[in-house]
Amino acid sequence: MTDGNRTAFVFPGQGSQYVGMGQALCDRFPEAGAVFDEAEEALGFGLRGLCFGGPDAELNRTEHTQPAILTVSVAALRVLEAQVGVVPSWVAGHSLGEYSALVCAGALGLADAVRVVRQRGRLMQQAVPEGEGGMAAVLGLEEPAVRELCEEAARGEVVAPANLNGGGQVVVSGAREAVRRAVQLARDRGARKVVELAVSAPFHCALMTPAAEGLRQVLEDVEVRPLRMGVVTNVEAALNADPGRVKALLAEQVVAPVRWEESVRALAGLGCEQVIELGPGRVLSGLVRRIDRSMSTSNLEKPEDLEKLGAEAEA
């Protein structure tokens, strides 16, 4: 497998982190260790210790979580590039994962990316005082129904669909009490399951406007290079290959819903046949399977995953 002309790489977002992530790749592959070296130098703190040993409370702090997941994802990417040699035709990422996708596409350097997402995490955390926002996953209702119940639950406050994940899964985000009203309405209207999420801030809604404004300033001095392949963006669920649009899309992404189902369908429409998830967890692989079973899925977060991908390449 030297050419992924029908392959997309996808990269996970916040929530996929766990203590121990990336350690097995670093222990076995120098390419992964080099990624951690570069990220640690850029950030000025020991990312290895945080990813490999925790504690959970520190890893789950948004300003730590975001650079940690990005670093593990890029470590998996560099191992795959070196060991198997597959080159994707397209890339996409879920929220934070879009930064990993942009590193893969060559638009962002790793050092810049980890510094930006650390600031992004801080800005998102600071936008709403802790405890005043919330998020909840609604399963078994389609997006139009969830949007309607959010409008009814708002009562002058912010609550709106934030992650349009597909497979009947929509995450809502907003002011805490408005989210709780939306949760009750979803249950009343026959949602299969509703889960309030343990998050530190209400991501991807209008309450994140201060974070979006701050992120625009952070991105001002960041170099965006020409893209080696197009990125299916969260904001538009469409392919972007224009480096001049990257910063505006990343800033808007903070307040806009993650259009993941549409992004996966866009990849299918482009002719994608194989999706490889790079980084911690398998959340995106599961969502892809629920959205469009015509595309095969696999993931790489540990050395044994690479062996499976290598065997597929030789088949």
Active site residues: 95, 204
Q: What's the rounded Cα separation, in Å, for the pair 254 and 201?
A: 12
Q: What Cα–Cα distance (Å) separates residue 285 from each residue in 193, 291, 300? A: 21, 10, 11
Rounded CA gap, 14 and 280, in Å? Answer: 10
The CA-atom distances, in angstroms, between 78 and each of 35, 36, 147, 299 are 8, 11, 39, 14
CA atoms within 13 A on the CB side of 105: 33
Burial code (b: 16+ CB inside 10 Å, e: under 16) for 7-40 equals bbbbbbbbbbbeeebbbbbbeebebbbebbebbb
